[in-house]
Amino acid sequence: MFFRDVYGHDELKRQLIDAVKSGRIPHAQLFCGPEGVGKLPLALAYAQYVSCENKGENDSCGQCPSCKKYAMLAHPDLHFVFPIIQKKPAGSDEYCMEHLDGWREMFATSPYFNLDKWVEEEFSSVATKQPIIYNCEGNELIRKLQMKACESEYKVVVIWHPELMGAECSNRVLKSIEEPVGKTLFLLVSDKPDDILPTIQSRTQRVVMHALPEKVLADAIRTKNSNADDNQIQYAARLSKGSLIAAFELLDDGANTFLDTFIRLMRKAYVSDLDDLINLSNELAKLSRKKQISFLQYCQHMIRENFILNVGNQSLNYMTNDENAFSSKFARFINEKNVWQLVDELSKAEFHIERNGMSKIIFYDLALKVMTLLKK
Ligand SMILES: [Zn+2]
């Protein structure tokens, strides 16, 4: 992984590179920040740079033996610890290294992926269980770290989602951080850093990563998907709240699917078509929870935009052409008497779905409220 392939975070990259050049390399770092901002890619670009035998001003060389092995995540001094779902029968130990091929493949497809995607790709057959870092991983790590580095100055341990380590494993990792054997770099990558064992937290230096700006997201989408049109790119960049993973998902969902569903919800609620509102609620309940939440966020965005359109602030309008075509007629129904209540109801529905409420009921209840509010 090169620094240049990590989207955004220019300032952080500079700091990491400068630290390596000046020889001030902290031995345990915690890359933290929201999902989808590129924590794992940045940690790996950093590790590759540390190991590179011919470091450039701004990036690793890509040509030396170390870089070539890093490109395949196959460097003998690079170790990974990540959550898995045990496929073997209970009582037998299963190590994340047994899933290394899947891990490399996942990373090669796109280094921007989340735990859901990892579970879906690698463990679909047993995906009803939660992924964790099993306790046996702690001893395995200690064993590996006692061996000398094979080829590099540093051994690098990347722990992805360290908050999913059990107590016993956390304590082993803590011990390895406190009493490192030789030169070892620990790179922890987490979107829930506060859930990590506090004594581990206090021994790591945080590399804090923030949500990506819309422009960086739009550029990233353009690079990856040259077929996407500007409307779709704008839409995905704006609604993804700084997460590249969310932006790619929104792009896959297609902007118009959500718009069509939004139009249907508003039209049927306006004419009080209860039968179709039930059908619609059932259809929405069949989507993944993540998509249900994205749809509700999309609706909130559309309600706000329509209100802005209605009060005449055309210049603040952030809609695609298709959205504008519908909104030019619909905006007059969204006014100061109902806008905040509508947004509030949509956000409450989002809250309940996040907490595993019954989607069918939540959507139908929401539809009934929209029906009343549209007539205000
Ligand atoms: Zn190199």
Instruction: Please report the pLDDT score of residue 151 as a whole number.
Output: 85
How far, in Å, is the centroid of ligand 1 from the Cα of 97?
25
Instruction: Look at residue 305 and give its three-state secondary structure.
Output: helix
The secondary structure of 306-344, three-state, reads HHHHHCCCHHHCCCCHHHHHHHHHHHHHCCCCCHHHHHH
How far, in Å, is the centroid of ligand 1 from the Cα of 148?
21
How far, in Å, is the centroid of ligand 1 from the Cα of 2?
10
How far, in Å, is the centroid of ligand 1 from the Cα of 117?
30
How far, in Å, is the centroid of ligand 1 from the Cα of 104?
19
- Domain 3-210, CATH among 3.40.190.10, 3.40.50.2300, 2.60.40.10, 3.40.50.300: 3.40.50.300
How far, in Å, is the centroid of ligand 1 from the Cα of 108?
19
Structure tokens at 124: 């679909």
* Type of residue numbered 5: D
Structure tokens at 167: 């107590």
The per-residue pLDDT for range 314-340, each reduced to its tens digit, is 666 678 778 889 999 999 999 999 999
Q: How confident is the model at residue 290 (pLDDT cuts 50, 70, 90)?
A: confident
Domain boundaries, the chain: 3-210, 254-374
Instruction: Provide, rounded to the nearest whole percent, the portion of the chain with pLDDT above 90.
Output: 75
**CA distance linking residue 224 with residue 259, whole number of Å:** 24
Q: Which CATH class is domain 254-374?
A: mainly alpha
**CA distance linking residue 88 with residue 157, whole number of Å:** 25
Give alpha helix (H) positions in 147-206. Answer: 167-178, 198-202
Burial of 224 (0-12, 13-18, 19+ CB in 10 A): middle
Measured between alpha carbons, how far is residue 61 from residues 23, 48, 57 in Å? 18, 9, 10
Q: How confident is the model at residue 307 (pLDDT cuts 50, 70, 90)?
A: very high
How far, in Å, is the centroid of ligand 1 from the Cα of 33?
28
**CA distance linking residue 217 with residue 9, whole number of Å:** 12
Instruction: Please report the pLDDT score of residue 90 as a whole number.
Output: 83
Q: How confident is the model at residue 255 (pLDDT cuts 50, 70, 90)?
A: low
Length of the chain (residues): 376
Q: How confident is the model at residue 46 (pLDDT cuts 50, 70, 90)?
A: very high
Residue 232 has pLDDT above 70, yes or no: yes
How far, in Å, is the centroid of ligand 1 from the Cα of 70?
9
The residue among 68, 84, 65 whose CA lies nearest residue 127 is 84
Work out the average pLDDT over 89-99.
Answer: 91
Measured between alpha carbons, how far is residue 320 from residues 132, 205, 210, 349 in Å? 41, 43, 27, 25
Instruction: Please report the pLDDT score of residue 319 as a whole number.
Output: 81
Q: How many CB atoms lie within 10 A of CB 372?
A: 13
**CA distance linking residue 244 with residue 236, whole number of Å:** 9
How far, in Å, is the centroid of ligand 1 from the Cα of 153?
13
Work out the average pLDDT over 361-372.
Answer: 97
**CA distance linking residue 255 with residue 269, whole number of Å:** 22
How far, in Å, is the centroid of ligand 1 from the Cα of 66?
6
How far, in Å, is the centroid of ligand 1 from the Cα of 182?
22
How far, in Å, is the centroid of ligand 1 from the Cα of 51?
7
User: CB of 323 within 8 A of CB of 259?
Assistant: yes
How far, in Å, is the centroid of ligand 1 from the Cα of 360?
54
* Type of residue numbered 8: G
